[in-house]
Structures are given as C-alpha cells and as structure tokens.
A and B are shown apart, each in its own frame.
Chain A
Amino acid sequence: MLGLISSKFLRNNRYYPFALLVILLCSTFVGNSFAEDAAGYQSVGKRAGVWNDGQAALWDLNIIDHFHYFGPVARARGHKPQQPIKFSHVTHVQKNKMECQFCHWTSAKSPYAAIPEVQNCMGCHSLIGGTTPEQQAEITKIKEYYTKGEPIPWAKVHVMPDYVKFNHKRHVKAGVGCQECHGQIQEMDEVERVSSMKMGWCIDCHRERGANIDCTVCHH
C-alpha cells in the first residue's frame, strides 16, 4: 500500500496539498501522544493555581507548540542546550543548600539576572576541587577560563523574543519564586526550558496576580 501511495503521489502532484495536510495531522497526533513529554513537564513542577500548567491560549498548548515542530528548537519547551561546563543545580542547590541569589546576585537588582561572574565560581572552587573525576574535570575547566581571563560561553536557555522587555528585578521583588518560571531548577542537572514564555503564558500570571497588563509593561 505504501508503494501504491508513494507511486501515485509521485506521479500526481495535485495530491501534494493532501499530503501536507496528512503530515500536519500526524504531527499533531504525534505531538499529542507525547505522554511522557507532558508527564516530564509535570514532574518538573506544576505551577500552583494555574490552569492547565499555566497554559492560557490554545496555541500555547503542547499539542500545537509550533516551536516544538517547526523550530527554532531554542524556543520550544524542553530545550536543553549543551553547556560548556556541566554545571549541576542539583549539586549546588539541593545537596549543598546554596541560595539562588548567592550566585545570581543581580536578579533582584537589575532587569537582567546575569549569569554569575567566573570570579564568583572561583570564590568557592579555588578551594573545592570536586570529589569525582568528572567533577574535577569540569572544575578544572572553570579554572582554565579564569586563568585565561576568558568568559565562559554559556548557552542561553531562556531567550526572550524581540521587543519584549522582561524586568527580572520586578518579578523577584513581587515575590515570584524562581521555580514559577524556571521550573524545579534545583532538580535539574542540566537546565532546560520549562515555560513556553509565550505572551499568553505571561498574561495569564499577570491576570492571576492582578499585575498590570498594559502593553507597555513589556513592549517598549
């Protein structure tokens, strides 16, 4: 049957639109059936009190998360870029009980929650060399960057679209927990994108909390 369809399709290009439709439907179906995918997000942390895991608009739902299928991958949830250093939040936050703002010290001061300086890492890692060989290898990398005076080229996980301004400080000061947007980050060995970061998702929380939803709040 496959041969039949393919031969017919190859011979007759008026079927191409149908083929496209079939592919689209299939992809939606496949997307919908990514049960483990959805479960994965839930395990990472459901946002309290928010309907349907914080999804507001239809196109914000997982089934037609168009970034997931059509890219760019970096905008899709579950985006987990490879980092130059295998930094683990599990080790730092869960095991060693470090405060988020110990490293991300600008997150309540500046619109940007900057990645900590290399010097900041060295503050501890000049003394702490790691227990396992893997850890030791990664920590050596930091030391190399530091001695060369080079910044570590971290891959950005949460990329904002253009013409959107997100003020990190305002959110932290308003009492929005890190996990509400970044998921259960303390459980992530590798940081991945949990939130869709689409406008519907933002607006939903703004409505929920009675925050301002004027366009200029973010778009200017």
Chain B
Amino acid sequence: MQKKSLTILGQNDNVASEGLSRRSFLKVLGAATATTAVACADKADQIIYPNVKGDATQIPGLPSWYSSTCTQCDAGCGVNYKTYEGRVVIVEGNKDHPINKGGLCAIGHSALQDHYDPDRVRQPLEKDSNGVFQPITWKAAYSKIKQAIADDSKRAFLTRPLSGSLEKLVGEWSTDVAVEHYAYEPLDYAQLAKATAAVYGAEYDGVPHYDFSKAEVVLNFGADFLETWISPCEYSRDWAKSRKSKKPVRVFQVEPRLSLTGANADHHLKCKPGTELLIAKAVLKELLSRGKNNLPASLLGELEVSLAEITIDVVAKLSNVKSEKIVSAAQRLAEAKTSLVIAGGASAKTNNEYELQVICALINRVLGNVGQTINLDRLRKVKSDFQKVKSLIAEINDNKYSVLFVDGSNPLFTIPSDYKFGLAIKKLDLVVSFASHLDETSKEAHLILPASSSIESWGDHQPYAGVSSLVQPAMTPVFDTVGLGDMLLKLSRSEELKKFSEFQDYLKAQWQTIHAGAGVAENFETFWKKSLERGGYFADPISVAQLSIPTSVIVTAKLDIASFDSTKIQQKSELVLLPYASVKTFDGRAANRPWMQELPDPITKIAWDTWAEINTKTAAAKKIKTGDLVKISNYYGELQVPAYVTDHVDENVIAVPLGNGHSDFGRYASSVGGGNVYNMIPSDKADHLQLFTTHVELKRALGKHKVANTQDVKDSDKQGKREIARTSYIETKVPGAHDDHHDDHHGHHEPAQMYEQRIHPLYQWGMVVDLAACTGCSACVTACYAENNIPTVGRKIMTEGREMSWLRLERYDDGTSEDLQISFIPAMCQHCQNAPCEPVCPVYATYHNEDGMNVMVYNRCVGTRYCANNCVYKQRRFNWYEYELPEPMEMQLNPEVMKRTAGVMEKCSFCVHRIKDAKDHAKDEGRLVADGEVQPACVKSCPTEALVFGDLNDPNSRVSKLAKHDRAYKILDHHLNTQPSVSYLDNLKYKA
C-alpha cells in the first residue's frame, strides 16, 4: 500500500526518515483502505515493443551467450556473458578456458556493475574555463586531440599494463604520434619477475606459472594466491584439486597479518613485520644442511658466507615465530617429492622484497621444483614499470611534458601523493583521459573521452604463451562511448594504422598471425569464429626449455629485517602500516560497485566500510575497542577509520585494506570514507612501489562508528558446540575418518519421524559443499546477488541486520592466534525436508514441493515473518523496504527472477528458474534432467568446485555420491531432525 522506497547510499543516515513514520502511516491507513479497492496499483496497461528487424538466432525470451575474457585483473579468466534482448545480465566463468575452467571470482562477477555504473561518463566531456565539465561531440573531441598531437611537444600515455593486440596498437600508436607509453599498476609483480630472471636465467624475465595441484608442500610468504595474487581463480582451483585428493597439499603461510589465504593454510606462522626474508634464509640454510644443495659450487660458496649469521634461534627470536615451526617447514619441504615456495602480497612489498623473491627462487631450485610445480614456459610478462613512471613524474614536474594521455587505471589514486603526481598533472597543458568514470585522475583532465567497458568492446588478452583469449562485445554500448582501440585508430596519423577503420579489423589482422602459428587446417574465418565461440585459442604449452644456470646471485650477508620509514614520527612508534589488497575492492578499482561494498570481507565480515585491524594487546594499551574510530597518521597523511581488534595481526602491524577512501569515482565509492591508504606511503628511491614501508602513529579518535559487520553479535564468531563448519585433521587419523566425538553427529542418521517421511517421485534436488575446497572467496555471494536480483541495502540498513543476501559466507574463529581454527562455510537455505519455516506459515506461502525443495510463493506471502523466526539457519530475508536502482543499473536485472516488493519474505530458491529451464530442455528432448545440467549461480561461480548440485534421487549423480561421503554431515540435523537437502563435507587440515 504505502511503500517505502529507498535509494541505496552507503553512509546516508537519513534513509529511514524518507518513508512514512508509524504515526502518519496509521493516519493515512483508513483513507488508504477505502481507496485501494478502486485504485489498485497495478501495471496492467502495458505496451509491447517488438523488434523492428528480426534475427532468427535471437529469440525474445531466450538468452544468448557470448564468450569473452574478464579484464578486471591481468589473470585473464574466460567468461561467458548471458544476454537477454541485447543486454548482458549475468557473467559466468567459461568452463572451456584453460585458466579458470569455469569459476570466477567476486570481482569478476561485479564487472557488470562497472558496466552499468550510473556514475559512468556518458559522453565526451571538456572542462570549461570555470573548471566544469561540459559535454562535447566526439568529432570536436577528436579534432582537439589531433591539434594537440600535431606539434612536436613532448607527450606521454600512462595506462595500466596492457596485453595482446591493444598493447601492440598502443605501442604502434605511440610511435606514430610521438607519445611515450608508460604502464603502471600498484600491485605489480616486478620484483618476482626480476628474481626469476636472476635465479633461473635472464630469458625468464616474468612470473612463472605455478601449479599448486602438483605440490605436496607449499611455503608461502604472504602471497594471497587464493584472493588477488596473480591469477587467483587458477590457483584456487589447483589448490582445491589437491585439497580434495587423497594427499592434500600442506600450506605453511608466513605473514604478519592473517589473510584469507592464511586462514586456509594448515600452518600460519605469524611473524614480525619484515622478517619474512630471515625466515626464508633460515629455511634455505636448513635445506642446504639437509643435503638439498643442487646448486653450482660458486653459488653455494657465496651462500655459505652470506647465510653464516643465520641460525634458527636468532631468526625465531627476531621474527617471533617458534623455531620448531621453521624447522618443521624446512623438514616438510625437504621430505616432499614436490613442493613450492612463493612470496608476494602486500606484506612482502617491503624494501627487501627482491631478496626475498631471490631466496624463494633459490629454495625452489634446491628442491628441484622447476619443471614440476614451477613452469617457466608459461611466463607472465610484467609490464608495469614503476621506475619509469617515477621518472615520468619527475620530468613532468620539470615541465618537460605538455600533454598526458591516461586510461581508466586512476593512477592519481594509486600513486602515493608523496610522489607528487598530483602536482605534476596540474602542470600539463593538456590531460586527456580515456577513463569511464569521473575519478581522481579524470577530474584533473581537460578532456575526457570515455572508453567503452570490456563488455562493449573488442580486444584480446595473452596472459602467457599458449593462451590467446578473445574479448568480444556482448552488447551495444550503454552510453555514448567508444572502445579505446577504436579511439586510437581514429587519432592515428600513419597510413599503416589508418587502413584499419575499426579496432575489430586490427584485432583480426593480429589474429592472422595466431592462426598462422597455430598450424590448423581450417581457414582463418572458421578459425576466428571457432575462437570467438570458445573464448580464444588455447594451444598446448611448449615443452620446458633447458635452464641456464647462473653461478652468482647477489644475496646480502646481513640479518635483514625490512626497514620502515619513520619520518617525523614524534613518539617512537613500532607500529607499521600494512595496506593490503582485499577481495572486495582489490587495488581500488572495484570500489564503486555496490555488490562489492555490500560483500562482507571474508576475514573481518565488515561491509560498506574500511577498517584497521589492530592487535588485541596494542589496542588494549591504547584503550581501543572494535568500532572505535582511530586515527592512523604519519608525516604523509592520516586515516580515520573504525578499529577492528583481532589477535590475528602482529602486535606491531596495523592492517588497512586498499581501495576505499575515494574522493571521487562515484556515489558508492565516495560513500566509504576514511582516507586513501596509498597516500600514507612515502616515496623512496626503490624501483617499485613499496606498500609495507611506513611506521605510523595510532591514536583513538573521538567517537565510535557503527560498522556494518554481519557477524558482530557477541560470540557469533564462535561455533561453540554447534558444530556448524567442521574440520577433520589429517594424519592424526586417516583422512575422512573422524574422532569419537563427531561420530554420532555425522549425517547419515535414520530419521525418526512422527509423520510419514516425504517422498519425491521424480527429482530431489540437493547440494553438497566440500569445505575442504571452500576458500571463503565469496564469489558465490556476489554471483547470487547478480542472479537473483538481490538488492544491496547500504551501510545504514546493514547495521540494522537487514541485509538481503540469500547466500552468506560464515566465518568462525574458534581457536587462538597460536592454534588457528578459522572455518568458512557458505550458508544458504538448507531446503529441509522437515522445514521449521513451513508449518508456521499461516497462508501456505512457503511449502515443501515435490522436488524436495522448500519453496516461496511471493504472491501468497503476507509478511508475518513467522518463518524467519522459526528458521534455525537464519536464512530468510524480509523485504523491509523496496529498493530502487539508479538508471541504468536496472538493465542488469535478471528477467528470469522477479524483483520482490516490500513486505515479502524471500530466501535462496536453489535457483529454481534454472531448474525449470533445465526441465524445459529435457522435456523438449523427451528425457530426464541429466546430472550436472542444473547449476545454480553459486555452484557455477565457485572457482574450486566446492559446491555440487544435483538430483539426490539419482544414485549415480555426483551429489548423491558425495552426500554419502564419510566426511558428509548436515548442519544441526542431529539435534533438530530438520533433514536439510544441503550436506557439507568436513574441512581437512593438517594438525602438525
């Protein structure tokens, strides 16, 4: 009747007053009842617009799929776009793609919200004399740039690292119009590439391909390979493949802050900041002493000298990691047939990162991992060169440049302000931005030519040899935008480039070479069409080349602890700021997407905020509690963020996620304040951006901040005796067996029924979640938001506990920081056979259907919320409000699922529309639905295939076999006899 409609804004605290108050609601109630019967708010007068021109392949109401490549990071995962009537609705992983093989991370799913972002630049803009952007035509914009590139002034083009044909075009265009090209991204892998070249030979200047599925032991110095590091979907998949196998990989994680990857490791070695190198050296020395010394004699001699001072005890003392843990790691590595040692992530980005990478590479060499778990034939080239960018900034400051072209990578946000890029950009005569948003960088531009998103443009991506992945437009541009490649071709001068009228032609010309190199019989057009359909051309990797053996590698002979900048810090502060990349915002590029802001961080469970993780002891000394505002400051800047007090960071570390604190960029990004963490980082002489490099002061600021934390209720972090997410320990028992306490709780108990047991004649849909493979990456949560049109509610409503997610990722923290017991569990409606929600519904709106599902009929629901009160799994969500999406975000809404109105209960439906769709196809072909044919959005999204869905009635289906696995259990079933359709498999971990 009277609907409260809200626009979602993160920190808009006035939202509640927008609707009617209770009193005025009652006042109008009488009048409203009288009028409703007559003036029923019904959208019955509708108009149908048919297509003007038909296309037999595009049937209205049926989806069309397009293969493409995700461009959210450089990993190069294959994606499929599901389009309805010419608009992209769903992004899913491409199962034929060699990198991700079907899964996709949360940021990959949220690419849609970047594409349909209401804050995108909608047409070319020019800054007028008052500093206000005014729309201009494309023709005018081009002619202005052509004028600017006509003279011989010095010009630069700053982009994010590019790949494939666009990289080639940018190179050619740069020479054509005399522009110098610079590539930059803040979280680069330059040091890793440099160390690889130093240890394995100069021709291997790049990031090797790691195979986690083959490793028995992994020693990891801070690399968040399950989150954002290099190619997380690929690594998660390989890691999970091993975790699900008979001999799971054992992971040692050394880092000063517990990351999501660390929480999934078997052994978390929490070290003092900057002491990873020492531990690596100690491990190397231990390995050398154990006879793992397959190195040239000269190098061994060098190492002997430089490792002389390193002893386990000294290292243990300095790093605060128990010596037996270091020895155990070394011993496990020595004993394992195959292993892998890696370093990376934000905590490795100190001033001794290069040396840490060298030591890790040396350990890999002595262990003989090259060719086993490390493939040098599939190198990822590192194109980001911060040294060059630094010199560019210096030269701009010296007035040597007059024109700067910049793409959408927003360098002004990610280059710390101490490097003075902000001052430099103001000195330029002309700044042309190809950004799609009015972000920090494009605000400084004189001319903005908005580039199309990767969903609207052509392109390709070659992450490593053998993988040529295509990017194709899946829909016409939402706004008046043009692809970057097309723009560059329009702006080119040479006849070479002018002969291509559009970037698609240029791309095809490049693919002629790939076609020639592929050595396939089919002609180019067939090859091109096949590649488009598949998502690219994927060749078998080339065989491993012979390694050249360098005889000398510089390893300093010091007891190296990374040094941290403490310029003008008044009181001597031991605290170090650790800015880290989160799965929510990565380096800042995903900050303006409500799905990503609404996604609770897997470790802290905080949404719509940025925060500072502070150790319990440090916090206690400063009388700081979770939720207090704290001021983190150094000479370069300050942050004011809520504190999150935890045992899982080192006493001297304050960890703050990167990516929030945008001043511009869009409504969602700028609603999350706190300050830009990048700006806290001092400039230095190093050739790479060191993130983990500065001391800070910590003070309690005035006031508290109500943080939107989905697990902040007292003790909801602990499982207690509820046994929700369970872990069995390997080696203490045979894998799969469980200790006596668990025995009676495992899932296969015979139901004791007062009523007749339900039978399901045809299908009984069910799901199995293998917790041993679940990393907690939260891709399923975002996929569910996208698939089911779940509204994002914003910070204010989330603090009231009224978030709408149908699938949440619970994080339980039962151990201590010494004995870590973190468990993740994706929790969705359990579709109980004896569902407690069903009998309490007075209007029969929720019931158990013949396919074994617990079903919601929205038409019937009157919103008593009895079902939500009675649900033991807290899976039901009530629509307190109706949410409006800003134009054009409503274009993303999935037409298969209807938006629910206020006053209606909703919950996970097992993606019933997908089941219906599969049944529909099966019926057309006169058969039953095959196993694996139905994949709900969460199952499809999972990079590790931890979720399996299918028919429990079919004894041969994957799901029914897994449900009978000896690790299988059902949550709370042994207490309540709810008989859920979702089974979980115990997590597996090594105890010692």
Q: Chain A interface (Cβ within 8 Å of chain B)?
A: 70-75, 81, 106, 109-112, 114-120, 145-146, 149-156, 159, 161-165, 167, 169-170, 173, 214-216, 219-220
Contact = CB atoms under 8 A, between A and B. Distances in A.
B37 interface: yes
B30 interface: no
Nearest to B853: A216
A155 B47 contact: yes
Interface of B: 37-40, 42-54, 59-62, 847, 849-851, 853, 855, 857-859, 898, 901, 909, 912-913, 916, 920, 923-924
Contact of A109 (B43, B47, B51, B62): B62
Given A70-B37, A173-B924, A220-B912, A110 B59 contact: yes
A145 B52 contact: yes
Nearest to B847: A215
B859 A106 contact: no
Nearest to A154: B48
Contacts of A70: 37-38, 40
Contacts of B858: 162-163, 219
5 contacts: A112-B60, A156-B46, A156-B48, A169-B920, A219-B855
Given A74-B45, A114-B60, A159-B44, A219 B52 contact: no
A102 to B, nearest CB: 13
A219 B845 CA distance: 11
A153 B912 contact: no
Contacts of B851: 214, 216
Contact of B40 (A71, A112, A118, A151): A71
Contact of B53 (A119, A162, A216, A220): A119
A159 B38 contact: no
Contact of B51 (A112, A117, A162, A169): A117
For the complex of A and B, the 4 pairs showing the least CB-CB separation, nearest first, are A74-B44, A112-B61, A117-B54, A110-B61
A93 to B, nearest CB: 18
Nearest to A217: B916
Contacts of A71: 38-40, 42
A72 B45 CA distance: 8
Given A72-B45, A214-B850, 18 more contacts: A71-B42, A109-B59, A109-B62, A110-B61, A115-B48, A117-B50, A117-B54, A149-B52, A155-B45, A159-B46, A162-B858, A165-B916, A170-B920, A214-B851, A215-B857, A216-B853, A216-B916, A219-B855
A114 B58 CA distance: 12
Contacts of B47: 153-156
Contact of B855 (A118, A153, A164, A215): A215
A74 B851 CA distance: 35
What DSSP secondary structure best describes chain A's contact surface? loop
Interface centre among A75, A116, A146, A162 (most CB of B within 10 A): A162
Contacts of A170: 920, 923
Given A72-B45, A109-B62, A119-B53, A220 B916 contact: yes
A170 B61 CA distance: 13
Contacts of B901: 162
Contacts of A163: 857-859, 898
B83 to A, nearest CB: 14
Q: Is the interface of B mostly helix, strand, loop or mixed?
A: loop
A111 B857 CA distance: 20
Nearest to B924: A173
Nearest to B859: A163
A109 B49 CA distance: 19
Given A106-B60, A167-B920, A170-B920, A146 B52 contact: yes
A106 B39 CA distance: 35
B54 A111 contact: no
Contacts of B61: 106, 110-112, 114
Contacts of B857: 163, 215, 219
Contacts of B60: 106, 110, 112, 114
Nearest to B861: A163
A119 B60 CA distance: 15
B879 to A, nearest CB: 13
A109 B62 CA distance: 9
A106 B59 contact: yes
A163 to B, nearest CB: 5
B898 A117 contact: no
Residue from B40, B61, B913 whose CB has the most chain A CB atoms within 10 Å = B61
Contacts of B850: 214
Contacts of B923: 170, 173
A146 B916 CA distance: 37
Nearest to B901: A162
Contacts of A145: 52
Contacts of A155: 45-48
B859 A164 contact: yes
B50 A118 contact: yes
B38 A152 contact: no
Contacts of B898: 162-163
A156 B40 CA distance: 18
Contacts of A112: 60-61
A59 B438 CA distance: 56
Contacts of A152: 49-50
Contacts of A74: 42, 44-46
B913 A116 contact: no
A173 B853 CA distance: 26
A156 B48 CA distance: 6
A15 B757 CA distance: 57
A117 B53 contact: yes
Contact of A216 (B40, B46, B54, B912): B912
A119 B59 CA distance: 14
A120 B42 CA distance: 32
Nearest to B844: A215
B44 A72 contact: yes
Nearest to A155: B47
Nearest to A149: B52
A73 B42 CA distance: 10
Contact of A151 (B39, B50, B849, B912): B50
A98 B403 CA distance: 66
Contacts of A169: 920
Contacts of B50: 114-118, 151-152, 154
Nearest to A84: B47
Of B42, B48, B51, the most chain A CB neighbours within 10 A belong to B48
Given A75-B42, A149-B52, A162-B898, A219 B62 contact: no
Contact of B849 (A119, A120, A146, A215): A215
B909 to A, nearest CB: 7
A97 B333 CA distance: 81
B812 to A, nearest CB: 33
A120 B53 CA distance: 8
Nearest to A199: B859
A190 to B, nearest CB: 16
A216 B59 contact: no
A25 to B, nearest CB: 16
A112 to B, nearest CB: 4
A143 to B, nearest CB: 12
Contacts of A75: 42, 44
Contacts of B53: 117-119
Contacts of A116: 50, 54
A33 B924 CA distance: 46
Given A110-B59, A215-B855, A216-B912, A117 B37 contact: no
A168 to B, nearest CB: 8
Contacts of B924: 173
A112 B60 CA distance: 7
B350 to A, nearest CB: 53
Contacts of B44: 72-75, 159
Nearest to B55: A117
A117 B60 CA distance: 10
A117 B50 CA distance: 5
A110 B896 CA distance: 13
Nearest to A159: B44
B859 A161 contact: yes
A220 B45 CA distance: 23
